[in-house]
Amino acid sequence: MINNYYLKIVFIINIFFLILFFENAHSSNKVVILVKIDKEIVTNIDIENEAKYLLALNPGLRSIKKKKLIIIAKQSIIKEKIKKIEISKYYKLEAENEYFDRVFKDFYNGLNINNEADFEKYLSNYELDISEVKGKLKIETLWNELIYTKFQNQIEIDEIKLKNNLKKKLSNKKEQKSYLIYEIIFSAENKEELKKKHEIIKNSIKEIGFQNTANIYSESDTSKKNGKIGWINENQLSDLIKKELSKINIGEYSKLISVTGGSLILKKEDTKIIKNNLNFEDEFQKSLSFERNRQLNQFSTIYFNKIKNNINIYEK
């Protein structure tokens, strides 16, 4: 009788430990809510999928530790959810958008992929579904549309001054420089916070490089692309930006540059010389577009930070 009772106890204990083992073995498959943003939630699965998405955009992120990648992914998905909440006040996400097809094509072309079928194959390497990626791009498209609608009348460009400056730049030189530029934009409430954030960013650049740091700390929409602005001709740059870029060598980054809504750090990734046999009107339109986009990006950063400060975010 005692032996039977003892055997039952041992059997129950063994079953308990087997259940505990299998629960732990499969704990990574559990869905856990990690962040609540108003009525939106972010789970551990959302963050894992966002990490895959960011890796698909920037394979260079493989060089950083998984813990840091998860931090980047968490910040990225929170930002996306905040934008989603805001644009839902003005647009229906499921509605068709006339600009989306062009945005989508530009997106995969930017990854050196020629068509949607090849892009779908590419995404499968990261266990990503193309419909999910389209959903993310739809949010970005509608956000940019919202920013343009809200702030287009606040854009201030002195076109006469811009034309005169462009004439001087093009007439005095047979050649001009073009810069491959990356950026980090961030904001701070006061000088003490600015100094602290700047130090954190500089240390991060030393540890994991400028591009990966842009993914983590930049508040610009370019953060998902490693902070990449792309190739910009010097005649499209302000005198201040051109002056700061002239002070640094290829591969170096600038000191803090004060801009509307925050602080800017630029990296000069590369330079090239281009012939100045350029069409003035084409160059003027490029300069106009660059300045307009620059101001819209600043409005976007300011508006996003305002929303973020007024929204309920709960993190575990």
The single residue listed with the structure tokens 């010389």 is 273
| Predicted local distance difference test score (pLDDT) of residue 234 | 85
Rounded Cα distance between 136 and 94, Å, is 12
pLDDT tens digits along 140-196? 999 999 999 999 999 999 999 888 888 877 776 677 789 999 999 998 888 899 999
pLDDT tens digits along 224-281? 788 999 898 888 888 888 899 999 999 999 999 988 778 999 999 999 988 766 778 8
| Predicted local distance difference test score (pLDDT) of residue 280 | 82
- pLDDT above 70 (res 32): yes
Rounded Cα distance between 31 and 48, Å, is 11
| Predicted local distance difference test score (pLDDT) of residue 29 | 65
Q: Say what percent of the chain tops pLDDT 90.
A: 46
The alpha-carbon radius of gyration of the chain (Å, integer) is 25
| Predicted local distance difference test score (pLDDT) of residue 25 | 38
- Rounded mean pLDDT of the chain? 85
* Ordered DSSP codes for 238-305: -HHHHHHHHTS-TT-B---EEETTEEEEEEEEEEEEEES---HHHHHHHHHHHHHHHHHHHHHHHHHH
